Chains A and B, each alone.
Chain A
Amino acid sequence: MASVAAAAIRPALRWALRRSALSNCQLSRTFSSTVRQSRAPIPDYATPNPARPTHFGFETVTEAEKRERVAEVFTNVAESYDRMNDLMSFGWHRVWKDYFVSSLNPGFSPLTPGLDPRAPQHILDIAGGTGDIAFRMLHNAHIVNGNPDVHVTISDINPAMLTVGKQRSRSLPASQQAALSFVEANAEDLTKTKPLSMSPPSTTEADITSAIPDNSVDLYTVAFGIRNFSNIPAALREAHRVLKPGGVFACLEFSKADKFPLLNTIYKEWSFRAIPLIGQLVAGDRDSYQYLVESIERFPTQEDFRDMIVDAGFVVGSNGGYEDLTGGVAAIHKGMKPRA
């Protein structure tokens, strides 16, 4: 009897499922651009889906759950984030970040005879909460290259990290502070960004959102952030959307040092034994740092990540599209959005 009833409602269920799949499509269409519509359809894996399984360190969770738990991790570590980075990498993360920024050389714009050909540069620093990359960008552009026409937007999903960055930015020269803005946004959907407000948000303020328009960014950077994203392909496509044709996607991220077995062994020992311990002693939070090392382990290899970048529509350099730092402990990936 029950089976007959089930058989009777099955077509109805199927219809309902199809309907929900359709409405999902329409949902993604609302923030897709004309450029994207002319391209190949977005594959299913690159559409954020809160219910899809992903990994949180070595655990398997849903995308929505990962977002929450990553938020929790970074809210916990925000205060001690910079001190911990120094302790964990012996200060070496500064060398990587300096190299990353100087190799990108933001603000470099040679003059030619005649009209000033320089166009303002807009840099979007995703997951840039504490401003490490953004402040270096501004220094390189304003001071090294003498080009004040460079604006940096720091975007982070986590207001706690942004608040730390905002406080640190107070020690910058006024001209550089003026070229900075802080927004709270999810990198998988940059159509909804919220400017950071230092006072507790009132109900009206919380609703103010604005979109980062299509083809508006010269340089999109994400340093030590992309492995925390719930849906990396979606974030890469969103990067492709906001970048101008010719704009550059640049990512600095922990990677694999498999090419050097000895270095790799020492590195793995250090990261799995020492880092959670340092986290416990210094920041009083072992779990967050356990997640950190596990998430590094789960991040794709240099080649696989490069293929994901190509898959999102970027052109990568012909010598591989990535550059290893310190034998592959970290790697820089760069891609350019081709001209339409």
Chain B
Amino acid sequence: MLLLCSRAVHRCRRAYHSYDHPKSAGPFNAAEEAILAAAYRQVPEHGFTDAALAIGAREAGYLDISTNLLSDGAFSLIQWHLVQQREALAARKAALFADDSSDPSAVAARVEALTWERLLGNTDVMGRWQEALAVMAQPSYIPESVKELAMLADEILFLAGDVAVDPTWYTKRASLSTIYAAAELYMTTDHSPGYFDTRNFLRRRLGEANEFGSAAHAIRQWVGFTASAGLNMLRSKGMRI
């Protein structure tokens, strides 16, 4: 019965933040969480593999065969990592931003800080992350992976205090998703101390997005103004528009 409920919740999981609805449950039930939490500790040694899952299941007091509960196998372990890291961001926000002011001008800086924080969340499993990206790119797992990426972008923008509800809601999330995915891939081959190169890469990409965003905004304003001025001029000439 409990599982039925969790499935229903799972189905109506929202991809955005709401102040009016309770937080939806994660994608895993209690038994799955026990196995995954133990298996995740095996990742640095065994990677995101069935072997890590089986050893984790053993440590959690289950059998090798119990991993069959996780229908996506190794991908479930990757999903576990993604969900854990995403949910941990909210707690790290307090440490990142001492002042809790929601100054709109600081949103861009906050987005950068949060994205960087999330990228650092991959450092423990960095040696295995290329494998994980390869698994996530398998056709049957792409929908879940993209959904998780969208939820991450939403989480970052929400925590950064972005409250815009105009069409930029979509463009911001889309561009942040793209930048995050690119930076994550860049990071897997980055050997600079403290991932210095990745940090610069991220900064450049976000800067470009902001520039492009403001340029697009300026063009849109100009087009809008010219169109309405032209329309008014035609009306003043007696045209019935």
Contact = CB atoms under 8 A, between A and B. Distances in A.
Nearest to A311: B1
Contact of A246 (B7, B50, B63, B72): B63
Contacts of A121: 64-65
Nearest to B6: A318
A121 B66 CA distance: 12
Interface stretch (B51-59, B177-185, B202-210, B212-220): B51-59
Contact of B4 (A104, A310, A339): A310
Interface stretch (B25-33, B108-116, B147-155, B192-200): B25-33
Given A246-B65, A319-B72, A334-B71, A117 B7 contact: no
B31 A338 contact: yes
Given A317-B32, A318-B27, A319-B71, A248 B66 contact: yes
Contacts of B66: 246-248, 336
A109 B46 CA distance: 13
B68 to A, nearest CB: 5
Interface in A211-257: 218-219, 244-248, 250
A334 B50 CA distance: 17
Interface centre among B31, B58, B63 (most CB of A within 10 A): B63
A334 B54 CA distance: 17
Interface in A318-340: 318-321, 323, 334, 336, 338-339
Contact of A110 (B6, B46, B62, B68): B46
Interface string B1-27: 101101100100000000000000001
A108 to B, nearest CB: 6
B70 interface: yes
A248 B6 contact: no
Interface in B58-85: 58, 61-66, 68-72
A190 to B, nearest CB: 19
A336 B46 contact: no
- Most chain A CB inside 10 Å of its own CB: which residue of B10, B28, B31: B31
A250 B68 contact: yes
A324 to B, nearest CB: 12
B55 A218 contact: no
A319 B65 CA distance: 18
A151 B32 CA distance: 27
B71 A248 contact: no
A315 B3 contact: yes
A131 interface: no
A93 to B, nearest CB: 21
Contact of A336 (B6, B7, B28, B31): B31
A112 interface: yes
Interface residues on A, range: 20 to 34
Nearest to A332: B71
A248 B68 contact: yes
A323 B71 contact: yes
B29 A246 contact: no
Contacts of B1: 310
A106 B64 CA distance: 9
Interface residues of B, number: 29
A307 interface: yes
A108 B27 CA distance: 26
Given A244-B63, A250-B68, A318 B29 contact: yes
A167 interface: no
Contact of A105 (B10, B50, B71): B50
Contacts of A109: 54, 64
B54 A108 contact: yes
Contacts of B70: 317
Contacts of A338: 31
B54 A316 contact: no
Given A105-B50, A110-B46, A112-B55, A339 B65 contact: no
Contacts of B10: 318-319
Contacts of B27: 318-319
B68 A334 contact: yes
Nearest to A334: B68
Nearest to B61: A339
A307 B4 contact: yes
B3 A110 contact: no
A227 B107 CA distance: 59
Given A109-B54, A110-B55, A315 B29 contact: yes
Given A248-B68, A323-B71, A315 B54 contact: no
Contact of B69 (A112, A245, A248): A248
Contacts of A110: 46, 50-51, 54-55, 64
Contacts of B64: 108-110, 118-119, 121, 218
The 3 closest A-B pairs by CB, nearest first: A246-B62, A110-B51, A246-B63
10 contacts: A110-B50, A110-B64, A246-B62, A310-B3, A310-B4, A316-B69, A318-B10, A334-B71, A336-B31, A339-B62
Interface of B: 1, 3-4, 6-7, 10, 27-29, 31-32, 46, 50-51, 54-55, 57-58, 61-66, 68-72
Given A315-B69, A320-B7, 8 more contacts: A104-B65, A108-B64, A109-B54, A245-B62, A317-B71, A318-B3, A318-B27, A318-B32
Interface of A: 103-106, 108-110, 112, 117-119, 121, 218-219, 244-248, 250, 307, 310, 315-321, 323, 334, 336, 338-339
